[in-house]
């Protein structure tokens, strides 16, 4: 899995702490975590395509949340950044070699290996979909109640 997932989740949390009055440019979000702007921008665009973020054009443009953290699950972010494909990609090797001469219809049902692997990926996806970014934000704030204030101060929205 790419580092993009970690970046994307943290950026969503940052945007939530900043509120949605002012969109934040990719370069500012990147600076907040010392990330490469161009590569982060790719992830942010993916989040826009997934409807997680909104992109605002223009000199004062940037990114903001398209919906509240309560309505964004980890699954939304992982699917946006990593794509919808399963990690396990069945190559149907059962059809090769000794399986090549099998009768028509032998391969109508999905491979039992693939089915078992997909079952596990479904469990993973369900666990991702069961967790919202709001819950992650709440957990982070339980560890450090002044996190949001720190973010706003760093972005110059405080004081």
Binding site for its own copies (CB under 8 A): 1, 3, 5-7, 9-10, 13, 31-35, 74, 87-91, 93-94, 96-99, 102, 106, 109, 111-117, 119-128, 131, 135-137, 139-140, 143-144, 150-151, 154-155
* 58 vs 83, beta carbon nearer its own copies: 83
Measured between alpha carbons, how far is residue 158 from residues 63, 80, 148, 150 in Å?
19, 32, 11, 9
The nearer residue to its own copies, 42 or 57, going by C-beta atoms, is 42
Question: Of 135, 14, 5, whose CA–CA distance to 63 is shortest?
Answer: 14
Nearer to its own copies by Cβ, of 58 and 89: the residue is 89
- Compare residues 15 and 151 and give the one whose CB is closer to its own copies: 151
Closer residue to its own copies in complex, CB, 51/87: 87
CB of 56 to its own copies, least distance (A): 22
Least distance CB 57 / its own copies (angstroms): 25
Instruction: Tell me what percent of the chain is helix, strand and coil, each rounded to the nearest 5.
Output: 55, 5, 35
CB 128 within 8 A of CB 68: no
Two structure tokens written together for 16: 């939530």
Question: Minimal distance in Å, beta carbon 58 to its own copies?
Answer: 25
Beta-bridged to residue 65, according to DSSP, are: 53
CA 139, 156, 42 angle in degrees (round to 5)?
65
CB of 117 to its own copies, least distance (A): 7
CB of 41 to its own copies, least distance (A): 16
CB 13 within 8 A of CB 133: yes
């Amino acid at each position: 899995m790419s580092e993009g997932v970690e970046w994307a989740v943290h950026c969503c949390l940052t945007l939530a702490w900043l509120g949605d009055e002012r969109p934040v440019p990719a370069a500012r979000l990147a600076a907040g975590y010392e990330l490469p702007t161009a590569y982060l921008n790719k992830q942010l665009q993916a989040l826009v395509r997934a409807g997680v973020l909104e992109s605002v054009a223009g000199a004062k443009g940037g990114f903001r949340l398209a919906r509240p953290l309560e309505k964004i699950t980890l699954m939304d972010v992982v699917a946006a950044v990593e794509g919808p494909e399963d990690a396990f990609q069945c190559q149907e090797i059962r059809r090769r070699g000794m399986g090549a001469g099998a009768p028509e219809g032998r391969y109508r049902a999905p491979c039992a290996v693939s089915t078992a692997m997909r079952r596990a990926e479904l469990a993973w996806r369900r666990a991702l979909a069961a967790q919202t970014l709001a819950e992650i934000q709440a957990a982070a704030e339980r560890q450090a109640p002044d996190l949001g204030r720190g973010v706003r101060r760093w972005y110059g929205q405080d004081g």
